[in-house]
Amino acid sequence: MHLSSLLALFFFTCLSILTTNASLDPCSGSGSSSDLSVIHIYGKCSPFDPPKPSSWVNTVLNMASTDPKRFFYLSSLVDQKPNSVPIAPGQVINIGNYVVRAKIGTPGQLMFMVLDTSNDAAWLPCSGCTGCSPTVFAPNTSSSYAPLECSVPECTQVSGVSCPTGGSGSCNFNRSYGGDSSFSATLSHDVLTLGNDAIPNYAFGCINAVSGSSIPPQGLLGLGRGSVSLLSQTGPLYSGVFSYCLPSFKSYYFSGSLKLGPLGQPKNIKTTPLLKNPRRSSLYYVNLTGVSVGRVNVVLNPELLSFNSSTGAGTIIDSGTVITRFVQPVYEAIRDEFRKQVAGPFSSLGAFDTCFSVTHEQIAPIITFHFTGLDLKLPLENSLIHSSSGTLACLAMAAAPGNVDSVLNIIASLQQQNLRILFDTANSRLGIARELCN
């Protein structure tokens, strides 16, 4: 048996034993405070009953097929005026790959909210909503719910508000979303409970109506760094720190974890500075300085990697995009070096243009992302994906979609499996450490 299969079997066995002995049902939710399960939307613990894809690679291809919409959205953010941070940005992602359990109201009502690191939005479908799926938050059964008036300061941070001049009445807003959907919502306050932490007066959009099919069914929890995000609204509770470990796409049964706050975060973790772009205040930019394929440091034009806050150029870490995208010349240089080191012939599969016989996988080079102060050596499962027949392995990255003249590189979730990613906004740094988080 191959060593990696042996190792996988070993880990799987350990996990099975753990699971049995401790009766740890991965779907029951984590009991400890500020440490929540992160569930893959296509996983066993997901309540969304997605169509069971025939194979893992089809799942990824299906999910990656909606990446371009998200890519264009993320690329378009630069046009926003500085300091105007909408609570529910329009033209947002139309997929969420990972969800967390959250409770809203008193007593708490359970919702599976999509996790999104590139978004400040918090919104939930509310009862009476036209066009929402059946699971909604019922404000009239929560003793702590309060709709917000047009006159409150929070309402001025929301764009698309329809308040009369003079500012009386509910803070209602309407937003287009994902290119083909829109929703209308009332800005509201209620208690948000994550693990054992109750956050009072959490501001979110209570959705009254949706049109289109792209709205995450049980709401969205924005983990971006803008002014109305979870980190900003919780202040000292989490001190601007959280981390996640995303489970392997293949681990249908397992969940990863979201740890909120500085307690319990890894102590010895390599970090790279987080860069702040005032024109894209939600996004987590890092300084990608180079990429190695095997021992070869690929020659890349530094201007295609460098951070520029006026053009929005640079590299972000994002949880909602599935496969990593580089601006075209960067991707092509990496791919060409990779092809040079692996025996062809090469074919395409969906978004992937470098598929080759798995019999050559042994010689596939390790890909390393170089960030300031931090090298991330991608485990093979984070750089290669297998076709459903198992005969092909593909380089699981791509160029910016649609041949757009894009300036943004996105490190996406497939490349983040089984890594703990620490977002420390208090110290402006991002940490990465290997962790088996399934």
Ligand X SMILES: *[C@@H]1O[C@H](CO)[C@@H](O)[C@H](O)[C@H]1NC(C)=O
Active site residues: 116, 318
Assigned token pair, 1: 């048996």
Could you tell me the smallest distance in angstroms from the CB atom of residue 162 to ligand X? Answer: 9
Q: In three state form, how does the secondary structure of 10-28 look?
A: HHHHHHHHHHHHCCCCCCC
Q: What is the torsional sign of CA 304, 409, 396, 259?
A: positive
Could you tell me the smallest distance in angstroms from the CB atom of residue 288 to ligand X? Answer: 8
Contact present, 318 and 286 (Cβ < 8 Å):
no
In the bound state with ligand X, the residue whose beta carbon lies nearer, of 65 and 174, is 174
In the bound state with ligand X, the residue whose beta carbon lies nearer, of 137 and 352, is 137
Could you tell me the smallest distance in angstroms from the CB atom of residue 79 to ligand X? Answer: 14
Assigned token pair, 367: 């890909």
Return the SS3 of 37. Answer: strand
Could you tell me the smallest distance in angstroms from the CB atom of residue 262 to ligand X? Answer: 24
Spatial CB neighbours of 395, under 8 Å, sequence gap ≥ 6: 335, 338, 352, 353, 354, 355, 383, 384
In the bound state with ligand X, the residue whose beta carbon lies nearer, of 233 and 281, is 281
In the bound state with ligand X, the residue whose beta carbon lies nearer, of 168 and 308, is 308
Contact present, 152 and 163 (Cβ < 8 Å):
no
CA 344, CA 351: separation in Å to the nearest integer? 18
Distance of CA 334 to the CA centre of its chain: 24
CA 278, CA 298: separation in Å to the nearest integer? 31
* Cβ-based burial of 435 (10 A; exposed 0-12, middle 13-18, buried ≥19): middle
In the bound state with ligand X, the residue whose beta carbon lies nearer, of 113 and 210, is 210
* Cβ-based burial of 235 (10 A; exposed 0-12, middle 13-18, buried ≥19): exposed
Residues interacting with ligand X, by CB under 6 A?
A: 127-128, 138, 140-141, 174, 182-184, 209-211, 275, 287, 289, 307-308, 310-311, 372
Residue 259: which H helix or E strand, with range?
strand 256-260
Compute the chain's Rg from CA coordinates: 22
Could you tell me the smallest distance in angstroms from the CB atom of residue 210 to ligand X? Answer: 5
Could you tell me the smallest distance in angstroms from the CB atom of residue 181 to ligand X? Answer: 8
In the bound state with ligand X, the residue whose beta carbon lies nearer, of 127 and 196, is 127
